[in-house]
Amino acid sequence: MAEEDKTGPTSGHGVEIKLEEVSKRYPGAKQPAVESVTMTIPAGETVCLVGPSGSGKTTTMRMINRLIEPSSGKISIGGQDVLGLDPDELRREIGYSIQQAGLFPHMTVGENVGLVPGLVGWDKKRTSERIDEMLELVNLDPAIYRDRFPRQLSGGQQQRVGVARALAANPPVLLMDEPFGAVDPITRGVLQDELMRLQADLGKTIVFVTHDFDEAVKLGDRIAVLGERSKILQYDAPDAILANPADDTVAGFVGAGAALKQLTLRRVREIETGDVPTAKVGDAPSVLVEKLGTRRGAIGLVLDERNRPLRWATAREAGSVSDLSRAGRPVEDSVSPASTLQDALEAILTDDDGVAVVTGSRGQYEGVVDIDTVMNTIKSLQEEHSDDADTAAGDAS
């Protein structure tokens, strides 16, 4: 399929989008809906626009593909001034996916997906192959769904078709306006995961409008928090916004639990794990007892012959058995270096001693994480970002 992509009418890979002092005043409106927005959306990144209802998110996004004409300012895509292009041609080069999918009800799923490739002149065979490829990409079996009508699909399935249609002509840019707003939270989570998986392969430039800050944290490489008239209150990576909201309005939008949300963005491999005394299951119990010493509450691990953690034991527990395979209690749960710190925190909180064991790809012992490590990580992230903010403030003045 890589062949197909190269010969396609569009380059496929994400390109930079630039907005320079873009404004929109609707006819008859006292105030502009969008006022002098300047932002750069880097090639291949997902940027989420979040903000309260009426802040102008949709207007800002629709000016990029000229579904709405800017009143003033400049917009370029991949260095090309969009205002100099034919709007119809422009829109065929930009994928667009909206809430409730926006599928044409009188067309089959296949016809909906094949619409843009057909418009840009792909022949029937190539379009037909592309339809199947796209449906498979979004986890819909073409044999089942291709000839159905949108009304014969669930909301989540319609949303998938919407994404397949937006991607069909392999556009470098994808605009998504609350695409998962109309589905239940579980389906939304699944669709978000699918989009992340797709994007990891496709590397499009995605502009994603949402009300939901958590969705933005999950999907966005960057988040633009917009206030009235699309004023950019903060434009940064999710972890930077969580650690250091620019002002009270942003903080209000970030909502409660910002520190906890940060834990979903960090992996166990990024923090310094600790160590506990260990002994092999065949060792004499005294080996572990000696390593643990007399420190109260100290806990060690019994490992099997392949270094996989078997049991937690204190010196007292190890000293009261003749065989380490029966010492203390079994290791119930472990996390991997790729686990999020939130996973680690959950494992820590469910463990009686407040530690989680970290195991490698073959289940071998690699270290432990405890609550202090997680707390310190949150603190240092906050300090790190407040340094950033200080420097930025210093630069600005």
66 is a contact residue toward ligand ATP (CB under 6 A): no
Count helices and strands (H / E) in the chain.
Answer: 17, 17
Toward ligand ATP, which CB reaches closer, 8 or 181? 181
Give the interface segment with ligand ATP, choosing from 25-33, 215-223, 232-240, 272-280 (CB under 6 A). Answer: 25-33
Toward ligand ATP, which CB reaches closer, 4 or 228? 228
CA–CA distance, 131 with 367 (Å, rounded to integer): 48
Question: How do the residues of the chain divide into helix, strand and coil, expressed in percent and rounded to 5?
Answer: 45, 20, 35
Sequence letter at residue 340: T
30 is a contact residue toward ligand ATP (CB under 6 A): no
CA–CA distance, 241 with 71 (Å, rounded to integer): 31
Toward ligand ATP, which CB reaches closer, 228 or 353? 228
CA–CA distance, 109 with 337 (Å, rounded to integer): 41
Give the interface segment with ligand ATP, choosing from 50-58, 141-149, 151-159, 283-291 (CB under 6 A). Answer: 50-58
29 is a contact residue toward ligand ATP (CB under 6 A): yes
Toward ligand ATP, which CB reaches closer, 132 or 212? 212
58 is a contact residue toward ligand ATP (CB under 6 A): yes
33 is a contact residue toward ligand ATP (CB under 6 A): yes
Toward ligand ATP, which CB reaches closer, 211 or 231? 211
76 is a contact residue toward ligand ATP (CB under 6 A): no
Burial 329-354 (b: 16+ CB within 10 A, else e): eebeebbbbebebbbbbbbbeebebe
Beta carbons of 142 and 153 less than 8 angstroms apart: no
55 is a contact residue toward ligand ATP (CB under 6 A): yes
Beta carbons of 302 and 326 less than 8 angstroms apart: no
> Minimum distance from CB of 26 to ligand ATP (Å)?
3
The gap between the terminal CA atoms of the chain, to the nearest Å, is: 51
DSSP codes, 240-293: HHHHS-SSHHHHHHH-TTHHHHHHTT-BGGGS--B---EEETTS-HHHHHHHHT
Site for ligand ATP in 211-270 (CB under 6 A): 211
> Minimum distance from CB of 33 to ligand ATP (Å)?
3
Given 53, 294, 361, 397, the residue binding ligand ATP (CB under 6 A): 53
Toward ligand ATP, which CB reaches closer, 51 or 172? 51
Instruction: Give contact residues for ligand ATP (rule: CB under 6 A).
Output: 26, 29, 33, 51, 53-59, 211
